[in-house]
Amino acid sequence: MSWNVQCKPNVTSAAAVSDAEKQDYNLNSHHDALANYVHAKGGKRVIRRILIANNGMAAAKAILSMRKWAFLELGDEKALQFVAMATPEDLAANAEYIRQADEFVEVPGGSNANNYANVQLIVDLALKEKVDAVWPGWGHASENPKLPEGLRKLGIQFIGPTAPVMSVLGDKIAANILAQTANVPSIPWSGDGLKADLTPEGTIPEEIFQKAMVNTVDEALEAAARIGYPVMLKASEGGGGKGIRKSTNEQELRSNFEQVKNEVPGSPMFMMQLCSQARHLEVQIVGDEYGHAVALNGRDCTTQRRFQKIFEEGPPVIAPPEVFREMERAAQRLTQNIGYIGAGTVEYLFNASTGNYFFLELNPRLQVEHPVTEGLTGVNLPATQLQVAMGISLSRMPEIRKLYGKTVEAFDDIDFMKEEYVLPKKHVIAARITAENPDEGFKPTSGTIDRVNFQSSPNVWGYFSVGANGGIHEYADSQFGHLFASGNDRDEARKALMLALKDLEVRGEIRTAIEYLNQLLETEEFRDNTIDTAWLDGLIAAKGLAVGQDPQLVVAAAVLFRSHVYWKDVEASFEQALQRGQISVSSLKTQFEMEIVYQDIKYLFNVTRSGPDAFRLKLGTNVVDAKVREQSDGTLLTIFGGSSHRISGMEEPLGLRMVLDGTTCLVPIQFDPSECRSDVTGKIVRYLQPEGSMVEKGKPYAEVEAMKMVMPLVAPETGKISYNKPPGSIIDAGELLAELELANPSKAKKIIPFTGRFYPVGEGVDDQKLSSSWDTLAAFKRSLEDVKLILDGYTWDGESAVQRLLATLCDPALFPLSAKDACAAAGNKVPAWIVSRLESLSASSGEDLLLLSKEVAALNLPALEPIRILCENYSQGLWGNAVNILTDIFERYLVVEEQFAGKSFDAAVKALVKANPDSLNTVTSTVVAHLHIEDRNNLMLSILRQLPTLPQRCAGGMQSYGPIGWADDHAKLSSGMVSALERLAKLRGKEYGEVALRASNTLLEKRLPPIDVRLAELRDFLVGKKALKRKWGSAPKGDLQALVESPTLAVDLLPSLFEDDNVVVHRAALEVYVKRVYRAHNMLALDTIEQDGDYPMLVKWSFRFRDTPIDISPVRYGMLAVLKDLHDLKDRMPKVLEAYRRSLEVHCPDDMDLSTWVDPVNVLHIAMNSEDNNTDIALQVAELLHPYKNELVRLGVKFVNTLAYKKLQLPRYNTFTMARDYEEDPLYRGSRPTVAHLLELSRLKNYDLERIATVNRDLHIYVGQGKLEEDGGRRNLRPFHLLLRRISHSRDIAKGGLERILAKAIDALQLAMLDPRAQQTSSTRLYLNVLPELKDKDFEARCV
Which residues are catalytic, by number?
A: 365
Rg (CA), the chain: 47
| Residues 997 and 991 sit within 8 Å (Cβ to Cβ) | no
3-state secondary structure of 969: helix
Instruction: Give the per-residue SS3 of 88-142.
Output: HHHHHCCEHHHHHCCEEEECCCCCHHHCCCCHHHHHHHHHHCCCCEEECCCCCCC
- N- to C-terminal Cα distance for the chain? 116
Burial class (CB within 10 angstroms; exposed 0-12, middle 13-18, buried 19+) of 1054? buried
Instruction: Please enumerate in sequence order all residues whose Cβ is within 8 A of that of 87, keeping only pairs 6 or more positions apart, or say none.
Output: 55, 106, 107, 108, 109, 110, 114, 115, 475
| Residues 1083 and 1338 sit within 8 Å (Cβ to Cβ) | yes
3-state secondary structure of 965: coil
Instruction: Please enumerate in sequence order all residues whose Cβ is within 8 A of that of 773, keeping only pairs 6 or more positions apart, or say none.
Output: none
d(CA 1207, CA 1171): 10
d(CA 958, CA 26): 101
| Residues 1127 and 1136 sit within 8 Å (Cβ to Cβ) | no
Q: Output the CA torsion sign for 1288, 1289, 1294, 1296.
A: negative
Give, as one character, the DSSP assignment of residue 71: I
d(CA 1079, CA 1081): 5
Count other C-beta atoms under 10 Å from residue 720's C-beta: 15
Cα dihedral 279→284→290→292 (10° resolution): -60
CA angle 245/251/253 to nearest 5° reads 25
3-state secondary structure of 916: coil
| 49: phi then psi, degrees, rounded to nearest 5 | -115, 120
Burial class (CB within 10 angstroms; exposed 0-12, middle 13-18, buried 19+) of 834? buried
Give, as one character, the DSSP assignment of residue 903: S
DSSP string, 1126-1138: HHHHHHHHHHHHH
| Residues 376 and 315 sit within 8 Å (Cβ to Cβ) | yes
Locate the DSSP E strands across 1068-1169. 1081-1089, 1097-1105, 1116-1123, 1162-1168
d(CA 1134, CA 1129): 9
| Residues 1001 and 981 sit within 8 Å (Cβ to Cβ) | no
Helix axes 814-826, 865-874, angle to 10 degrees: 170
In 3D space, the residue among 1072, 1028, 1038 whose CA is nearest the CA of residue 1054 turns out to be 1072
| Residues 1058 and 1122 sit within 8 Å (Cβ to Cβ) | yes
In 3D space, the residue among 699, 786, 695, 708 whose CA is nearest the CA of residue 741 turns out to be 695
